[in-house]
Structure 1
Amino acid sequence: MSLIIGLDHVNLLIDAGDDALSRARAFYEGLLGLQPLERPANTDSGRPGAWYQCGVQQLHLATEKDASVVNKASRRHPAFRVADLEALRRKLEFAGIEIIAGNRFPGQERFFVRDPWGNRLEFVERFSS
């Protein structure tokens, strides 16, 4: 039996600054539709951030000086499972978000985007065989 039973949350870094959290709300809540969560005041980093519910998992955002510089050079990413990939693609394209194609794999369709801080995000729709 595995001691690991699932993934609880993913933490992404966004740039520090006065408008970082309002921009995060616009992207993650407004555009992607994630449900905001109350974030404890005593996080380990002590920096501002935001938490979101994402299915049974959570997405955490934390601010850090010049995070976008590191993010834009990285291929690390969370992958979000979606119910209608094409509807999400249209919504993101309408908002001016660049869609980045991913390799095709059996039983799924997917693409990537970069958030306003350069975090690479994958969106996946899986199909029954």
Structure 2
Amino acid sequence: MTIPSSSGQSSSTWAHACAACKHQRRKCKSDCPLARYFPADQPDRFVNAYRHFGVSNILRIIRGVRPEDRDAAMNSIMMESNIRARDPVGGCYGIICKLELQLRDLYDELYDVKRELALYHAQEQSMLNPNADDAALDKEGY
């Protein structure tokens, strides 16, 4: 972010330090790797990530991925740290377990609905073709 001077030209001075630099009480340089992901007006995003990962680990993760994958890596870091802040015990694993339980319940419900639908379909067929049962009995010799 640049501040326009009175002459209309912009200087390369940053108006606000990013949340990471502000938290660490250091000057935010124009090439700060965290400024893009932790704007000054959203300090909670940084605090959660800082508590869960630490600055050095966040920087190591960012440097360890390809430049085109850095946004996805940072989204993952922020999502995991925000979830951990909301649920310190279960975190992401707790959410995964809850979703698996919901999925199991939905599969059970789908099975019950399909079974009931098959029952209604069989009843409909017997009502449309009432002699089919008699013909089947005649074939078997009963």
TM-score by length of 2: 0.20
Larger of the two Rg values belongs to structure: 2
Q: Which has the higher contact order (CA 8 A, sep 6+)?
A: 1
Q: TM-score, normalised by structure 1?
A: 0.21
Q: Greater helix percent: which structure?
A: 2
Whose strand fraction is larger, Structure 1's or Structure 2's?
1
